[in-house]
Structures are given as structure tokens and as C-alpha cells.
Structure 1
Amino acid sequence: MIRSFFVLAIRNFKREFTYSAINVTGLAIGIACSLVILVYVFRELSYEKHFEGYNQVYRIGTKFMSMGEFANGPLVLLEVLPKSYPWIESTCRVKGSDRVELTYGELATKESGLFVEPTFFELFPYLFENGNGNISGNGIVLNAQLAKKIFDGINPIGKTLNLKLEDRDQLYTIKGVVDTENISSHLNASFWVLSDPLVQPDLNWFMIDQYNYIKVKENTDLATVQSALDKIIETEVFSSLGSTLPFEEWFKRDDSFRLIAQPLQDIYLKGTLRFDLTNGGNEAMVYLLLAVVLLILCTAAINFINLSTARSIKRRKEVGIKKVIGLSRCQLAIHFLSESILMSLLAMILALGFAELILLGVERFTGLELLNSIFSESSHLILALLLSISLGLLSGIYPALALSSFKPVDVLKSSFKGRTNATFRNSLVIFQFGLSTLLIIGTLVIFRQLQFMGDKDLGFQKDNVLIIDNAELLGQGVQVFKELLNDYPGIISTSLVNRVPAAANSFSMGSVSSQYIDEPLRINRFQGDFDYPTTLGFQLVLGRFYNPLLSSDSNAVILNESAVSALQLKNPIGELLNKKYEVIGVVKDFNYESLKKVIAPSMISFSNEGLSMAIRLESNKAKDIIAHLESEWIGRSLSEPIRFHFLDENFANLMKDDLIMGELLALLTLLAIFVAYLGLFGLSAYMATQRKKEIGIRKVLGASVGSVLALFGKEYSKLIFISFVIAIPFAIYIMQKWLSGFSYRVEVEGWLIVSTCLSILAISLLTVAYHSIRTSRINPAHTLRSD
């Protein structure tokens, strides 16, 4: 019987090809979007969860005075913490590295790795493709990609690599190979080597340099760990400060010092701490994408329901005859469900192709590689099958129950119009319009915020500034090189800098005090030579910049507005900080990190030993100047090629993830709206079919096409406005919640909401008008005759 049901389903599909094609297309888009995003979401949510005992591991970060929260922590912490709390099973320090040169024979490559303690692979049990994680002594573990790059199929175990470290060359013996390609972890690296041991740990708790991890015994919860850290602060840190305040009062202050316990599985998605090893994910965007996928699936299901209901009158005789010859309501329901499942399975085949196109489009336009291919893993195909069957059942239940409920005595009459649930049908229309309103407002607000971030005055001029990253290689000749560049046409100014805004190490931290505050203020410190403020184009509010003719300016500092406020300086020019640093200028607050973070008190100080060089150049001379730089660099026979980038790239990288997610959301929104309007097309077709005779009578009585169009437009406009009333408050609330994650943000503006509503109203009425005009042009002689 099941076979016959599917044969009949295929026959019906051919008979009603247009409606069936619309149904299959809507289902296919829903399945494709869901498949791509669900695989991506599962990957984002899986970070660290492949490690055995991951829920027992915590990273200890730092809330450092008023500077914010940092992923790294005090070096001394793991010397003290395990001695006081026996529920700590093991600990491990981790330190990141810049790109290190690895050499094997004649082959050399630069890679980023981690310097770790011997317990690393106990806390984080990676699966070894070859060898093991015993890195004691001079052992090194490579990831499989680097091993293949260097050894190309040769067994690397026991081979020796030379690492060019900051202060020495060091030989390491390869002990193991780990395949990290399918492992999601913030601790993935090209290599792992043993860090230098802390022979005499510095007891300065404010020396935060490495990442501290602890593994606790089972059933030890986050509250217990955090309580222990608070107690350590009281006994080890606060007691040494000599503060006159009670601990509880000091601890609540913004400028206090705290330790933060982060569960390992929260680091990637929920970790927004500074100086993290890697860029984290975006938890809010992940769940937003998940919500959009759910709405797309619901919309695709509603489309099927609407179109199936629209066709129900045409199938009334089929239902009546089948019931007369003995089919039960249950058998008819199974028959109609089999049709919906068959369509869903056909849609799945189409969806796999759509999914590949979506992946290609996302990678091409956003640069984000969600997956290599939807066919790369069998689990993706199983997920597609489950989605299609679930969507087929969800979509087919209501039409199946509705169609199978027809009574033969009624449906075999030529005057039968069918019973319809107007409330349910109108609810579906309101839902679809509300969904479209919500998605369009949300997408526009996101792009407004991204545009705002891109256009915002940062407090300095980031454009046309080139940074030479390895200028320290010039050694004693750096000043000569700097002066040579200053004389070259097209170069406006140059500066030796230690800290570049928006870089991974954009600032260092220090403490300053003034006569107007009781406790020292922790402050961000940017260092460069006398030309630093002018080269980066900071905006002067009070005072002056450095004067190279004044030797006293080597001890002078320039504050931002937030620092002036925090230090309570009413007349800052001429004030002494720490009794020796004279304030000579005040600049406008400038953004040196993501706009999600508040600008903190900052200070520009003099340093003539810059690690990098900033070059401000004329916009139309970049190509020529870069060629000149490379030529001059090669002529000095330095140990490595010149490395440079433009300063605006730093800020582009800060926004990269938000831009990608915004573009991905926009793509999904367009697809969701397309699917929603397929549903509207179906419902308007249904209403036009139901009211053919009514329209025919109106035409006989003299009604024009315009009056028929106004009749349908009025009914739909009412539903559209109801959907606006429901959706707009939700959209405003959700987007304000999202915008709250940014310290500097736009508002949900009225014009944006109005333009969205007008667009939806116009497109919807055009869709309805198509069916209204088409039906009203039919000769009444055809619509009023009996079937």
C-alpha cells in the first residue's frame, strides 16, 4: 500500500507541476540553509569538547585594575594556588609566540606555536597520529599539517628541528604528531615545545604574562573555583598593598585586582577577554543564526501548508471517491503525508546542490570557509535526511488531517467549497509578515552598526599609515633609515613605535598617580618617539605635541581625555605624574581596540627604541614607496625580508568576524524572505481560487478590476499591519540587546523601521495584485458555470 501511495504521489506531482515545484523549491531552500548553518553551529559549539574531562578544566584570567579583563594571568599564581586547595589535580602554564623560524636542513618556515609545561598533553589529551606528547627536555610536537609540509610523508619522529628563538637557536627532537584539522580548540598550534622553567618565580602578582590552566577534581563547580581565587587575592595581593580600605570595599572598586575562572568550554564563544591566544567566536551571532534557521524551516513548512490548502478544493472529488471505495481517514492521512515526505526527499536532493552554492557564495563574498563541502562527511548527509523527513512530516500533518477530514456526501457536491480555518490561515500570514519584518529590521540595524564602526572617528588617522613590523632588525642604523625615508617624495612623516593601535600588543600597562587621587591609576601606555603623535594623527585638545629640540620632553607625556578625567586634573598642562612625568598635551579619546570596548585612560610616552616603524604617506604614492622600502631593505642585507602592513588592516581585522557574520545573516535573510513570499504567493492563489465565483458576480454587477484589487489589498493590509504591531517591538528589543554588546553603537532609528514596513507592504500587495488581477480578468461566464 505504501508503494501505491508513493506512485500516486508522483503522479499528482506531475499533474500539479507548478505548485509542486514551488513547494519543493521552498523546502529545498529551507533544508539547504538549515544544513549549512547547523553544521557550522555544531562546529562552533563543539570547541574544546573533544578533550576528555574538558568540564574540569579552567583558565584563570585577570581583571586588572580599571584596565579590563585579560586572558593571561600572574606567573606566580600556579606556584601558590595548588598548595592551598587539594581539589586541584594538575596545572599548566601556556605562552603564545610570534612566528618562529623552524629549520630542517635547507628547508625553513615560520610558524606560530605554544610554549607549554610538561603537563600540557595531560590536561589537553590530543589524539596523536604518531608518537606521544612527552616534550620534557628538548621535545617538540608538530601538528600533522606542518609535519607534512616539512617531511612530506617521511616519519618525522626522532628528527631534529632548529628553532630560532628571540635570544638563541635551539635544537628540538620531534616526539609526536597531532592532527588538528578536525579539532576545534583555541590551543591548536603548529607546534608545542617546553617553556623555560620558572626557577625563582617573581612574586609580583601584577606581572601577567602567561595563560594559567587548572584541572580540578570532579564535582568541583565554578563557584568553588572562583571563591578560592577571591580568597587568594585577599591573602596574597590585598595584604601586600597596604590599602587603608577594608578588603570587601576595595574588592568592589573598579580599580581592584581580581582573578577570573573561565570554564574551558566557554573560552571560545563566551571569552571576550583581552590578549587571548586566538580570536574567539561570537555566541550571540551563533544563536541568532540558529534562530534564523529555525524561522526559515517554519516558513518553508508554512509554505507547504498554504499551497496544499490552496489545492484542497481541486482534490475534493479524489478524497470523496477514495472514501466511498473504502479508504479510512487514517489511510488517506498516510497517503497525503507520503506526498509531503516524497516532496521533502526530492527537496533534499535539490538542497544538497543549493547548500554547495551557499557555501561557495559565502566563501567568495565573505572569505569565511564554513565547510570544504557538504559531502565531506557522511554525518552531513544523515543530517540532511533527518531534516528533510522531519520537515516533510511537520509540513504535511495539517494538510493531511484537513484533506482526510472531508466527508464524501459533501465533497461530491458541485457546490462544495470546503471548510477552512480562517483564523489559522490568517495567523500563518501574520507570522510570515512578522518574520520578514523582524529579519529585515535586524539585518539593516546590523549593517548600520557595521557601517558606523567603519566610519567612526577613531581619534586619530588610521588611513595611509604603513607599519614596518620588523624595524628592530635595523639595529643602530634605524635612525639613518628613518631620516632617509623622511627625505623620500610622498612620505609625510615617520616614527619609531613600540605600540600600534589595534595590534595584538597595542599597549602596555603602567601605574600613574597625581595629587588629586588616593590610589594609583592603572593606565594604558603607548610608546613612540617624538614624531609618534603627528605620524598617527592624534587630535590635540590641549597643550602641544613633542618638541625634539627640548630634551625635557623625553620625560613628558600626553594624556587622552579619559585619563585626564580619571586623574581628576582640572588644568592638566604642566601637572606632574609620579612626581616626574610632565603632562604637555591632551588628545581626544582614541579607539585602539574593538568598538565593543570602552576607551580606557591612556598615555603616550617617549621611547626611542621602537620595535616597529610607522610611515605616513600620500595616498597615491603607496606603490612607489613600498618598492623603495623593499629596495632599501634588501640593500642592507638583513637577516629576513621586510615585513609590513597598513594600520587600517588592524581595524579591519577587528571587524572581520562581525562583517562576515553580518553578510552571512544578510544572505540568510534574503533567502528567508524569498521563502516567505513563496508562501504569500500560495496563500493569495488560494484566496483567489476560493473566491472566483464571488469575483465573477462582482464583475457582472459592474465591479472593475481596480475595485477587486482594492478588496483583496484591504484584507491583506489589515493582516500586514497586525504583523507590524507584533514584530516591531520584538525587533527593537532583540536589536537593542545585540547592540548592547558595543560600547559605541547606533540606535534603532525610526526611518529604518518605516522604510522596512513600506517595502514589505509594497512587495506584498504587488504579489497579491498579481493573482487578483489575473482572476478578475477571467470571463464571468467561465467562473459562474457549475463544475
Structure 2
Amino acid sequence: MIQFKFIFRKLWRDRFFTFLKIIGLAIGVAVCLVIFKIVNYEFSFDKNHPDKENIYQLVNWSYTGTEKHGFGGVQSAVGEFVDQTFPEIEEVVPLNRKYFEYLSIEKPNGETYRNEDPKNIQSTVSDYFEMVTYTWLAGDKKTALLYPNQVVLTQSRAEAYFGKVSVDKMIGKTIHYDNTPFTVTGVVADLEFPSSFEGKEFVPITNEEKTEANWFSFNSDYNLFVKLKPNQKDRLLKVLDQKYEDMIPESWKSADRKTAYSLLPLSEKHFSQDFNSGVYSANKKMMFGLIGIGVFILLMASINYINLSTAQIPYRNKEIGIRRTLGAKSGQLKKGFLYETLIITVLALVLAVPMMIGFESFYADFMPPRISEYSAVLPISLFVVGLLLVLTVLTGLYPAYLINKVKVSEVLKSQGAGRLSIGNLNIRKTMIVFQFVIAQVFVIGAFVIAAQIDYMITTDLGFDKDAVVTIKLPYKSYQNADVDPFLFKEALKKHPEIRQVSLGHTPMNDMYWGNNLVRITDSGETTLNMNFKYVDPDYLDFFGIEVLAGRAPQLRDTLESVFINEAARKGLGFLSNEEAIGKAMKGPSEKTVAIQGVINDFYQTDLHIPKEPLSLMITTERNMLNGFSIKLPLASSAWKKTLGILEKEWKTYYPNAPFAYEFYDSEIKNLYESDMRQSQMINLATIITIILGCLGLIGLVTLTAFQRTKEIGIRKVLGSSISGIILLLSKDYLKLIGLAILISIPIAWWAMNKWLENFAYRITIEWWMFLLTGIATILIALLAVSYRAIKAAIVNPVKSLRTE
């Protein structure tokens, strides 16, 4: 107890350095805790499912030339085919996403509970509850989905609908999905671990879903899981591949294009983003990147502590000498220093907790969805204990070792303890360089990522997106979905404030229709699978899309015309844009269409993906057109009035549908959400590494000034200026930072070039980027040390010379 009192008195006496040590370690620990929570959550997905090693999702790969694309959905006919053809497979579980406009529940008090667009509703079979082992709170899993219009609810969803009543009383209750009544036949406990099975309400597979013989369209809403033995996999895939080949038309078959089924193990599903089919998934590379960031930041915090502790040894030399003179053994000195380190680490941990909570609140979008629903007390507790021990040993052993290397005779003369090296290698300087190498790599990375995101957002996309708002067409039966959208369009065109209106899929988004376009020639057919967008005749003019050959769309093009981009023209084998005009094609549903125009290649998804073949089909069919695009006045000051006009007309034609618009350039930015998250992550890591590096510099400059107090006083008496003293105290550290910047350049260049390989269209890393970020880092470091250096430089030299 006496030793701990002594440690606390000493820490309070040196409170400036104690603060620097605690705040540095706290930042590192807080970052590690947040990263551990995220990584532990992501890697916990699907780990607790019994027999998970035998559960697979049926997926498919599409091969086109040297490219391949994965897709998690299957055709509607596959589930029933597998069930009938492979009776030996233990479980065949279709899991289809269901959509309802609303659900309603009549309450005993006469009120009606209503939920618009209910989520996480799936149609499946009873075997689903054999494959995924829920705890049944009420009902029988063998009969709960045996008949039509039954529904099984998870506990959280049941309580949301019926309140905190006994689950037995929920059985037999009625829920209206749209206008169809369903009876509650079961309630299951929510899964207590993260899972790729996100369903909250389960209804039986309908006869229409079972008997639909569609082998042509792969649909992300249709998912199929099987539980099988290893020796059953090859035969299943072989039979399915042959069945698909037999069912598709000859015009779809091509030597350079192939579709093949595959089995995705459940244990790999969460990190297989090609096959997520709308289910939340994670990027494994990003997880390893987070782990790397956590390790580097923890190392920086530890180095910060070690540097400050070893630099304080000359400052504490008399204390060490007196204790050794009074009989303190080496082991006691080492143990005392480790106790001191442990206390500082515990205090840092206490401070790290509110930092972690603040981070999670401030960067809520960075945290995985639903992470708060699952308890991780045990793994986090074990991680904290392990982190506490590792930090204590990592940061305490080396300074404790150095204390015992100091000779008593030299210590009492304030000599010898300041030179800490192994041979010619100064360890403290090496650690400073290491810190700033990491920091500078993050600085360069943050700059390059920001530049790439800016390039993606500001580059010419091949169409006009400025001052454009989009409004989705109402699709619910009770929201006037039957109103002809062209009536609303004509009403808007009467207002001079509205420059233009168009209907159809916007040029750049993450939604598209895929289909084939077949070129018919005397020598055979050339089939090209491509994206299709359905638009009205004003679309090209509205978005300023250039017609390179042929003519612009007209209303009569709704019958037998198609407009293609240059990539599609090349893919179909035409040597020039003009050659393609007027040529007959076999389009969707085997309908013959003619190419009326060739348009420029504009970006359709994002800059990760090369510009792909595209067909524009002109249509007036309401179910093919998903929304309005409206051009506001060029002057933003007039937008409020124009939006008011839009809302007024909307309520005239769609009184029962909510008026909701979005600026199109914001929609485009949303396509880069993953890149924005990476940028956010690197920016935060950059700020933290710079702070940690500067905290260490502040402490080291302060100690250097203390050790050279008399020298500074003598220099000032002899005429040195304040700027000269500041340079004296700072130049060695600035040289080390300069060396760190030089070392970091090839590392950062390699890392950022690897990152940029993910983009089909990207910036070029230029030499001035390294120069600019290097100057910025040096200036930040100079600002960090200048205060302490100036404070030491302006001290009265008489006072300095009287200091012992």
C-alpha cells in the first residue's frame, strides 16, 4: 500500500507527463476496443448454427470471356426441382423474400395497428426450422407452416405487434398482410448470435412459387439452401448445370459465355458479397484493414509511452540513485515501475471507455447494423484483460530494464542515464521514426482516397446531373398507383419554373435490368448480354446524352426500336456506329427490334466498373418506368418555390402517396458509400496517429529542454535568439520526421496503388502529393513542439543558470 501511495504521489508530481502517457494510451485503447467490437461481431456471423459445415446456399457464377460475376439468387423453378430430383438430400429449404404494401392488426380496444412496407418477411417450408434451430416459445415447428396463410413470428416482432403479453395468447391472432388474413401459429425466440438468416416473419411457400417453371430469370428474392453430405455436392451441381443448359433457348448459348451453379458454405456467406442477395454482408479485406489499423495505433500508443518513460529516466535519476543507495534491489525497482505502468494503463482504460462510447455515437454510421442487439460482454472482457496485461508488459519492461542499467555513482551526478542505445542504434529515435512512418502512410492514404472520391464525384459522367431531383413512382394500390404518370408529367411541363421532365431509370444507379440482344446475320447470331433501361422519348435530351449516330428517340419507338451505346455496338460486332443503324436485332421476349441510334458511353453504376454495354428501350408502360426526373431552375434561389409547385401538383394527382424527392447528385454520392466509409476510417486513423506522434514530441521536447536548461541559459547569455533556441530544441526531431517521411513514401505508394486497382477509372498518384502531405506533417509537428520550445526559450537565463 505504501508503494502505491508513493507511485500516486509521484504521478501527481509529474502530472504533465502522466497526462501525456494516460491520454496517449487511452486513445490507443479506445480505438482497439471499437475495432475489436466490430471485428468480433463480423466474425461471429453464423458460427453457432449446428451443422453449419453441411449447410450451403445454392448460387451461380456467370462467365463472360475472362470475367466472372457471382449471384446469390436462383430461378423460381430450382427449389421444387431440387426437392423432387434429390430425395436423398436431408433438407432443401427455399427462402424467398416477400413484399407486402402494409400489414394491419385489429387491437381489442378497436384500434388498428398498421405497418407500411414491413421488412424481413420470408416464405419458406417447415424444414427451415430444422436447418436453423430457433427456440420455440409457442407453437409446433412441424405444423406451423403446414397450411396456407399461417405465419410464425420472432419474439421481437411478436411483441412489437401484440405488446408484452404471454406468447401463448399470441397463437391464433390474425395479421392482415395487405388484405389477406394470416393466423399466428408459432412464436420463436430471436437468434442470440449474429446470423445471415435475417427473417423475422415466416409464411408458407405458395403453390404459385412451387409450381412456377421459370428457368430463365435469376432473382435475388429467391434463395435456396441445402443441407447435404460432401459426397452429394458434385452430382447436385452437375444435374443442375445440365438442366439449365437444356432449358435455355439456343440463342442464349455462346462459346464465350457460361452460367454454372455453385455451393456457398454457410460459414463463408457473411463475407461473400457477390452472393449476399440483399442480406447484410461484410468486406473481409476491410476487417483485416481495421485489425491492422488497431495494431498500428496500439503500437504507436505504446511507443509513445516508452519514449516518454525512458526520456524521464534522467529526470528521475536522483530518485533512482537514492532508492538504490537505501538498499532497493533491481527486482524491486523493476516491480515498482511495472506497478506504475499498470496504474497508468488502468487509468487509461477508464478514460478509454467514454472515448469509445463517444466514438460510437459520433460515428454511428460506421458501426455495423444491429451490433447493439447482441451481447459481447464475455469476449470484450477477456480482450480488455488481455490488452491490460499486454500493454503493461509491452510498455513497462524496457523502461524498467533501463532503470536497472543505471550506475548509482553516475545517477547521483545526473550522468549516463540519458544515453539509451544498442550499439550505434538509438532506440528512442528509431521509435520516433517508426511512429511517424505509420502516421505519414495514413496521411498520404487519406489524401489519395479523398482525391479519388472527389474524382469520382466531379468527373464528367457523360450526362447532365445538375439541378435534377428524382421522385419514385407510387407503387401501392392505395396510393393512386393506377394514375398515368404522363398526366403528371404534362402538368409539370406547364410551369415555366420547371425546365424539363423525363420518366425512366436514371443513367447512373445500382439498379438495372439484364437481358440479351441478339444480332441476326447470314452467318449466324451474335448474342450480347447487357443492361437495359426503360425510358420515355425525352430521356436523352433531358440528361444531355449525345447521339453519335442515327436519330433521337420518338414516341413511335415504343414498338420496335432500340438505342444502344458504343460498348454494345462493339460487343455486337459492328465496325462503326453508322453501320449499326437500322440493323435488326432480337430483343427481350424474342421480339425483333431495330437499332435507331448509337449513344455515348456514360457511366451506369460507379467508377469501380468499366463502362458496359447498354440498351435503352422507349416505353410508355407505367410498370416499366420507375420514377420521374425533374430539372429545377439553374438558380438555386428559385428551388424552394419550384419544389412547392412540385408538391402541389403531386398532391393533385397522387393525393394518397407521400411526396418525397431526392437530389440526383446525392443519389450518385450514395453509390460510393463503401468508399466513403473507408475514407472515414482512414481519416480518423490519420488524426489519431498524428495526435499520438505529437503527444510524444511534446513530452520529449519538454524533457530535452529540462535536460539542457543550463545550456539554454548559457546560450542566451552569449546572445542566442529565441528562434535559435527553438531551432536547437526542435531540429533533431524534425530531422527524424523528415527521415520518416522519406521511408513512408514507397510504402504508401505501393499500398495506395493496390487500393486504386479496385477502380476501373482512377487518379494517378503524383509526386506533388507526397511533397504536399510531407510539408503538412512537418508543419503539424512543428506546431506541436513550438509551444514547449518557446516556453523554454523565453525563461530568464539567470533562473536557468541557477537550476541544478
Match of 1:119 in 2: 127
- 8 A Cα contact 1:163 1:172, kept in partner: yes
* Mapping 1:416-495, distance limit 5 Å: 416-421=416-421, 423-463=426-466, 464-470=468-474, 473-475=480-482, 477-495=484-502
1:588 matched to 2:600: yes
Deviation at 1:735, TM superposition (A): 1.9
Secondary structure (helix, strand or coil) at the match of 2:573 reads coil
Secondary structure (helix, strand or coil) at the match of 1:174 reads strand
TM-score, L = length of structure 1 = 0.87
Match of 1:687 in 2: 704
* Shift in alpha-carbon separation, 1:770–1:199, aligned structure 2, 3 A: closer
Match of 2:109 in 1: none
- 8 A Cα contact 1:709 1:773, kept in partner: yes
1:294 matched to 2:295: yes
Amino acid aligned to 2:562: V
Deviation at 1:46, TM superposition (A): 2.3
Secondary structure (helix, strand or coil) at the match of 2:611 reads coil
Counterpart CA distance in 2 for 1:423 and 1:680 is 16
Counterpart CA distance in 2 for 1:217 and 1:719 is 61
* Mapping 1:96-245, distance limit 5 Å: 96-105=97-106, 106-110=112-116, 111-112=118-119, 113-128=121-136, 131=139, 133=141, 134-137=144-147, 138-154=149-165, 155=167, 156-164=170-178, 169-178=179-188, 180=190, 183-197=193-207, 198-200=209-211, 202=213, 204=215, 207-208=218-219, 210-217=221-228, 220=230, 225=233, 231-232=238-239, 235-238=242-245
- 8 A Cα contact 1:60 1:259, kept in partner: yes
- 8 A Cα contact 1:469 1:645, kept in partner: no
Deviation at 1:438, TM superposition (A): 0.8
Greater shift in the superposed pair: 301-310 or 536-545: 536-545
Match of 2:332 in 1: 331
Counterpart CA distance in 2 for 1:414 and 1:496 is 82
* Mapping 1:38-77, distance limit 5 Å: 38-64=36-62, 66=64, 68-77=69-78
* Shift in alpha-carbon separation, 1:209–1:333, aligned structure 2, 3 A: closer
* Shift in alpha-carbon separation, 1:487–1:782, aligned structure 2, 3 A: closer
* Shift in alpha-carbon separation, 1:471–1:69, aligned structure 2, 3 A: same
- 8 A Cα contact 2:38 2:367, kept in partner: no
- Count the aligned residue pairs: 767
Deviation at 1:312, TM superposition (A): 0.7
Counterpart CA distance in 1 for 2:386 and 2:374 is 15
Deviation at 1:755, TM superposition (A): 0.9
Deviation at 1:562, TM superposition (A): 1.4
* Shift in alpha-carbon separation, 1:184–1:99, aligned structure 2, 3 A: farther
- 8 A Cα contact 1:501 1:507, kept in partner: no
Deviation at 1:162, TM superposition (A): 1.3
Counterpart CA distance in 2 for 1:493 and 1:91 is 52
1:15-54 residue CA offsets vs partner (Å, 9 max, x unmatched): 1111111111111111122212221222222233343333
Q: Which runs of 5+ in 1 are unaligned?
A: none
Greater shift in the superposed pair: 44-53 or 771-780: 771-780
- 8 A Cα contact 1:61 1:262, kept in partner: yes
Greater shift in the superposed pair: 311-320 or 342-351: 311-320
Counterpart CA distance in 1 for 2:193 and 2:642 is 43
1:610 matched to 2:622: yes
* Mapping 1:388-403, distance limit 5 Å: 388-403=388-403
Pick the aligned partner of 1:555 from 553, 560, 573.
560
* Shift in alpha-carbon separation, 1:20–1:658, aligned structure 2, 3 A: same
Counterpart CA distance in 1 for 2:385 and 2:161 is 41
- 8 A Cα contact 2:445 2:682, kept in partner: no
- 8 A Cα contact 1:681 1:767, kept in partner: yes
Amino acid aligned to 2:440: T
Pick the aligned partner of 2:693 from 672, 676, 688.
676
Pick the aligned partner of 2:580 from 572, 585, 592.
572
Deviation at 1:775, TM superposition (A): 4.1
Counterpart CA distance in 1 for 2:619 and 2:734 is 68
Amino acid aligned to 1:398: Y
1:52-96 residue CA offsets vs partner (Å, 9 max, x unmatched): 333433323233354843221233444555788798532222222
Deviation at 1:368, TM superposition (A): 7.7
Secondary structure (helix, strand or coil) at the match of 2:491 reads helix
- 8 A Cα contact 2:535 2:619, kept in partner: yes
Counterpart CA distance in 1 for 2:136 and 2:407 is 67
Greater shift in the superposed pair: 670-679 or 390-399: 390-399
TM-score, L = length of structure 2 = 0.85
Match of 1:307 in 2: 308
* Shift in alpha-carbon separation, 1:195–1:445, aligned structure 2, 3 A: farther
Greater shift in the superposed pair: 183-192 or 29-38: 183-192
Secondary structure (helix, strand or coil) at the match of 1:313 reads coil
- 8 A Cα contact 1:542 1:573, kept in partner: yes
Match of 2:35 in 1: 37
Percent sequence identity over aligned pairs: 27
Amino acid aligned to 1:291: G
Greater shift in the superposed pair: 57-66 or 551-560: 57-66
1:374-403 residue CA offsets vs partner (Å, 9 max, x unmatched): 999576566445434432332112111211
Counterpart CA distance in 2 for 1:726 and 1:230 is 51
Deviation at 1:98, TM superposition (A): 4.0
* Shift in alpha-carbon separation, 1:430–1:257, aligned structure 2, 3 A: same
Counterpart CA distance in 2 for 1:117 and 1:756 is 59
Counterpart CA distance in 2 for 1:563 and 1:592 is 13
Pick the aligned partner of 2:18 from 17, 20, 39.
20
* Mapping 1:590-669, distance limit 5 Å: 590-611=602-623, 612-619=626-633, 623=640, 631=648, 641=658, 645-669=662-686
Secondary structure (helix, strand or coil) at the match of 2:426 reads helix
Match of 2:268 in 1: 266
Secondary structure (helix, strand or coil) at the match of 2:671 reads helix
1:230-282 residue CA offsets vs partner (Å, 9 max, x unmatched): 6346533446779899x9x94xx3x2222243333433333135x82235333
* Mapping 1:727-766, distance limit 5 Å: 727-766=744-783
Deviation at 1:686, TM superposition (A): 3.5
Amino acid aligned to 1:202: A
Deviation at 1:370, TM superposition (A): 8.6
- 8 A Cα contact 1:88 1:216, kept in partner: yes
- 8 A Cα contact 2:491 2:649, kept in partner: no
Counterpart CA distance in 2 for 1:778 and 1:642 is 68
Greater shift in the superposed pair: 611-620 or 18-27: 611-620
Counterpart CA distance in 2 for 1:459 and 1:157 is 57
Deviation at 1:543, TM superposition (A): 2.5
Counterpart CA distance in 2 for 1:747 and 1:180 is 49
- 8 A Cα contact 1:362 1:369, kept in partner: no
Amino acid aligned to 1:269: F
Secondary structure (helix, strand or coil) at the match of 2:315 reads helix
* Shift in alpha-carbon separation, 1:502–1:552, aligned structure 2, 3 A: closer
Counterpart CA distance in 2 for 1:501 and 1:262 is 33
1:201-220 residue CA offsets vs partner (Å, 9 max, x unmatched): 526355546443334456x4
The CA RMSD measured in Å over matched residues stands at: 3.7
- 8 A Cα contact 2:517 2:585, kept in partner: no
1:730-755 residue CA offsets vs partner (Å, 9 max, x unmatched): 21222222222233332333222211
- 8 A Cα contact 1:517 1:568, kept in partner: no
- 8 A Cα contact 2:473 2:481, kept in partner: no
Counterpart CA distance in 1 for 2:47 and 2:313 is 49
1:648-681 residue CA offsets vs partner (Å, 9 max, x unmatched): 4543432234324422432332122111210122
* Shift in alpha-carbon separation, 1:179–1:240, aligned structure 2, 3 A: closer
Q: Which runs of 5+ in 2 are unaligned?
A: 107-111
